[in-house]
Structure 1
């Protein structure tokens, strides 16, 4: 059985897709899944009206009380979990990680996990230059332009020790070892 820690930040982009895939993986794989949310991750799940279903589908859920509360950095650093997944990750979270700022539950978890051997997989929402199509909570299509600084931070993140960048939520199947079919 794989043990996975999954952190969610305050991104509306890719949140529904990521949650749907993680639920599918959870139903089909022998995994122990602990989920933790930044304060803004909880806000976004509520804004997208996903909160009640999320709590039901992912009962081992922890919400941020502070950078080290609840205490998950220790078990992550000591290898209790087989991997740490941060998906989706906002540009703000990526920038903090790149610059060594560990002032949220998610950024502290990454900072401390990177000191050990547990692999860290991050799905930044700002990955490539250009535009991306996403959707509002009411389903309205929104086109967002990626800022150069956010793309640069994602590139820096990809060069950091023990961090692997994911290009899409679908890559979660591969890294966890579950067939899409």
Structure 2
């Protein structure tokens, strides 16, 4: 009779409460949360998808340096309109500019997901969701800014809150827009033998 190998501890390299909530939906509770503080400034001419993948990898590698015995999961979500990257707004004025840019048109939400095993093997996914907002009225924008829901999130909105009422089109993963594509994340964890089939 073979004894199953013990699973390594799972470390989530993120301070996002949304990612913890999403993981809990699929029965995944990290053994440790290890936020990583990185400079998230895009490089010159860097595309949104390149930034999401690079930051997810960098977060995973930084957390692995502190927890080499663990299975490290990291993610980074970027909102893009064309080649333009909409990060976390610095203030309400920037959040307003982002909303006005996305109003009535399509944008993309990209999340890079990176998993590093204790042996150093790295697995990655990049997931893109396409959305279109209705044309936003000045009143909608003002209410959104007053709510504070724009703070600390890429693009200045949270789809699981009031902004969901603006979405007239969505193609792809809804959980990706919240901050972690669950299907792809579960695949990575199964591939590493951490999540049972």
What TM-score results when the alignment is normalised by the length of structure 1?
A: 0.34
Q: Which has the larger radius of gyration?
A: 2
Greater relative contact order (Cα < 8 A, sep 6+): 1
What TM-score results when the alignment is normalised by the length of structure 2?
A: 0.32
